[in-house]
Structure 1
Amino acid sequence: MSTAGVKRDIKVVIIGDACVGKTTFIKRYIEGQFTENTETLGACFYLKQWGPHNIAIWDTAGEERFSGLNSFYCRDAAAAIVAYDITNPESFQRLHERYIPLLDAARDEFLLVVTGMKLDLDQKSKLRVPSEEGEDFSVRLNHDRLKDKERFAKPFFETSSKTGQGVDEVFEYIFQTLLTHGKPLSPQKSIVDLEGAPPQREKPTCC
């Protein structure tokens, strides 16, 4: 079944360094299993149904040479999962330097969910990005949205694709915030036209 001309309710992208575990993270959510040694070239498209809503999820490559493409795939996104490896402080620092600027192409007032990955390796590593730094970063990125503190929890999670810890919670937070608690999205901007995207299959396919 082709997705040409099919409308989606919201678009979610995931950005971050190569090898922080972005593809593994999404596959854990979509397929419910842990897959090692996956690499994304350009971007991959996934389709997820959440209640009556259709969600387009885009997995972007982390290599610097793909930064131009990543900016394109961030266009009109309603939310971004901002991913880093909690055992690799450099991957957290590069979020500030390389990846946040890519989100200029996303829609106004979009949601940024800061997500630390590889929590299962935490006790095996001498390096550790403090949870407080990730949480503070998420608050700064979502300053306007978090003014309503009673409605929105802090958009920060630490997860493990290997054990599944926290993975579903990230996506549930996004969908609950945007589709249940958030401001209604305008019809023109809330729908993403995926004409030219890869055909829909039972399993996600790279584009």
Structure 2
Amino acid sequence: MASGSAMRKKADAKVIIMGDYAVGKTSLISRYIDGTFTTHSPTIGAAFFLKQWGPYNVAVWDTAGDERYTGLSSFYCRNAGAAILAFDLNTTTTYESLWARFLPLLESAKDDCLKVVVGTKSDVLDQDNREISIDEAIEFAREINNDIDISKLDGDPYFETSAKTGYNVAKVFDYMFQYCLPEAQKSDKLSDGSTINLSEGAQTRSRCGC
């Protein structure tokens, strides 16, 4: 039987998901990893998910949206190669929080961290009365990525999604992984020594308290 240390490997990439309380971050991840829609209790501190994408192992950190956990969120951003900045398409204040609260936390991420803006809950969006236009969100997504070359990626770093129906969820993660995994290989995996436990398979997950 393999020893515990032999079953631990470094992640090929680290992804962080951030956004206000109750925008559906955990449901988004669960839809992608498990293929199901489930409502979740609020994340405390951060939750860890492991995803195998082809031959690669990706560590996905789901951070709490509650303002009292802001300091912890900054810690989990360290050395992230890609980030999801999620907001509820039906609540303008959650969009405003992206640059007011969450974008500054990514200063501890990698310099070339890809920032993907994701609107959630598109299945209940009233298109006739939406307050945040697609063009506005795309412009914001381009602006916050102006220090990296996104011209080779498939489209702009903005997606509107529904964890309930699965709409665009896989596209968000594939878009990120196609960017950050080649970069991760160049840097010989994560530089902060982060490890993931593969003993329970490719889609294990564990929750970390505050």
Is this a same-fold pair by TM over 0.5? yes
Q: Aligned runs of 1:157-172 on 2, under 5 Å?
A: 157-172=159-174
| Structure 1 portions without partners, runs of 5+ | none
The verdict on how the C-alpha distance between 1:100 and 1:46 changes in structure 2, with shifts beyond 3 A counting, is: same
The verdict on how the C-alpha distance between 1:108 and 1:150 changes in structure 2, with shifts beyond 3 A counting, is: closer
Residue 128 of structure 1 corresponds to 131
Identity of aligned residues (%): 42
Read off the aligned partner of 1:117 and give its amino acid letter: T
**Match for residue 61 of structure 2 among 58, 74, 78:** 58
Greater shift in the superposed pair: 137-146 or 60-69: 137-146
Q: Aligned runs of 1:1-207 on 2, under 5 Å?
A: 6-123=9-126, 126-146=129-149, 149-151=151-153, 153-180=155-182, 185-187=186-188, 189=190, 192-194=193-195, 200=200, 203-207=204-208
Is the contact made by 1:14 and 1:58 (CA closer than 8 Å) also made in structure 2? yes
CA distance, structure 1, for counterparts of residue 204 and residue 188 of structure 2? 29
Task: Give the TM-score normalised by the residue count of structure 1.
Answer: 0.88
Is the contact made by 2:74 and 2:106 (CA closer than 8 Å) also made in structure 1? yes
Greater shift in the superposed pair: 28-37 or 8-17: 28-37
C-alpha displacement of 1:57: 0.2
How many residues end up aligned between the 2 structures?
204
RMSD: 2.6
Greater shift in the superposed pair: 21-30 or 149-158: 149-158
Read off the aligned partner of 1:176 and give its amino acid letter: Q
SS in 1 for 2:78: coil
CA distance, structure 2, for counterparts of residue 124 and residue 69 of structure 1? 35
C-alpha displacement of 1:39: 1.5
CA distance, structure 1, for counterparts of residue 136 and residue 107 of structure 2? 23
C-alpha displacement of 1:167: 0.2
The verdict on how the C-alpha distance between 1:124 and 1:144 changes in structure 2, with shifts beyond 3 A counting, is: closer
CA distance, structure 1, for counterparts of residue 45 and residue 199 of structure 2? 17
Is the contact made by 1:10 and 1:191 (CA closer than 8 Å) also made in structure 2? no
Read off the aligned partner of 2:143 and give its amino acid letter: R
Is the contact made by 1:9 and 1:191 (CA closer than 8 Å) also made in structure 2? no
